[in-house]
Amino acid sequence: MNIVIVGQGAIGLLCYHRLSQAIINQQGDNLVSLWPSTPTTLSDYLFSEMNDIAKSFPFTMADNQLIASADVIIFCVKSYQVTEALKAVDHLISDDAVIILTHNGLGTLEEISPRLKPSQCLLALLLTQGAKKVAPYHVKHTGMGHSDLGIIYGTLDSIKQKQLLEHLNKSLKQLSWQENIQQAQWKKLAINCVINPISALNDIENGEVNQKAYQRMTEDIISEVVAVATKEGVILSEILLRQLIHNVAKSTNRNTSSMRADVRNKRRTEIEYINGYIHRLGEKHKLTTAMNTQLWLAVKALEDKY
């Protein structure tokens, strides 16, 4: 199974590292390659384990030929980069390649489905592993967690599915197959709708989102997400989501959310695919999403000031 990782951010390098260390053929050849979004002349990268020990490893860079022969292509890019990243390579990708998306938020499937061939299969990989880019081409693994994988477009035969799961489990660990990945994606979206904008706008760590001051706001965000999800055919429980989000904020209490990190580094955030997605679906279904809309506008205003 030839695998190409697209993107050299924290998650891209983490996936590349874990997969290239674990997946080699009987001749000892590396079957994983990296397709960076900006060309590099580097031949090595640095990887720091959770115990802070950093080691240098050589890359295998993907070229057009490797992309064309890839069985699996994992797009480790931000939600707002998915369409462009796919456009850059989709003329090369084989008709039966499996495409995997790993980003936060929802809404990219609507953007890219017109570009997909009926024989292609698109999967969502919901990673809860933490990774931090210390410098360009230096990533640090900051946390282990459970990950989910499932189909969001097309079909996958059971042999290929089993093989893929085995390969990814060998490298990424604690990975399970979800028949209903849409439900898991919505739960992740609800977590991001609460933790990301609150932590980014108030410049606080994840754990502080559980403070009483943000409780009412959290409840409003969740009830709007649940109402919109219901219209989309996804049934979520407000009580369970509140508990889940509380637990995620608690277990990642000293972490900086990806949106807070983006704002601090004056980078574009994924707000359009998080609270912005809820806002757009609210308009579509004629539902008020006052709190999500307010947070979407507030984060956009912050980005406009950079």
Binding site for ligand PAF (CB under 6 A): 104, 191-192, 195-196, 206, 248, 252, 255, 257-258
Instruction: Provide the phi-psi class of 16: left if phi over 0, else alpha when psi is between -120 and 50, else beta.
Output: alpha
Q: How far is CA 184 from CA 34, 105, 148, 241, 242, in A?
A: 28, 11, 8, 11, 15
Helices then strands, each counted (H, E), the chain: 11, 11
32 vs 195 by CB, closer to ligand PAF: 195
Q: How far apart are CA 125 and CA 103, in angstroms?
A: 8
218 vs 252 by CB, closer to ligand PAF: 252
Instruction: State the nearest-atom distance from the C-beta of 195 to ligand PAF, in Å.
Output: 4
99 vs 131 by CB, closer to ligand PAF: 131
Instruction: State the nearest-atom distance from the C-beta of 35 to ligand PAF, in Å.
Output: 23
Nearest CA to 252 out of 208, 287, 304, 296 is that of 208
Instruction: State the nearest-atom distance from the C-beta of 110 to ligand PAF, in Å.
Output: 21
**Which residues are registered as beta bridge partners of 6?**
35, 75
62 vs 195 by CB, closer to ligand PAF: 195
* Burial classification of residue 65, based on how many CB atoms lie within 10 Å of its CB (0-12 exposed, 13-18 middle, 19 or more buried): exposed
Instruction: State the nearest-atom distance from the C-beta of 230 to ligand PAF, in Å.
Output: 23
**Which residues are registered as beta bridge partners of 32?**
3
Residue 32 CB-half CA count within 13 A: 21
Place of tokens 């499996």: 98
Nearest CA to 176 out of 7, 184, 234 is that of 184
Q: Could you count the other beta carbons within 10 Å of the beta carbon of residue 237?
A: 12
33 vs 257 by CB, closer to ligand PAF: 257
Instruction: State the nearest-atom distance from the C-beta of 245 to ligand PAF, in Å.
Output: 9
33 vs 206 by CB, closer to ligand PAF: 206
Instruction: State the nearest-atom distance from the C-beta of 127 to ligand PAF, in Å.
Output: 9
Place of tokens 């590396």: 30
Instruction: State the nearest-atom distance from the C-beta of 164 to ligand PAF, in Å.
Output: 23
Instruction: State the nearest-atom distance from the C-beta of 273 to ligand PAF, in Å.
Output: 11
Place of tokens 């061939």: 117
227 vs 274 by CB, closer to ligand PAF: 274
20 vs 257 by CB, closer to ligand PAF: 257
For the chain, what percentages of helix, strand and coil (3-state, to nearest 5) are there?
50, 20, 35
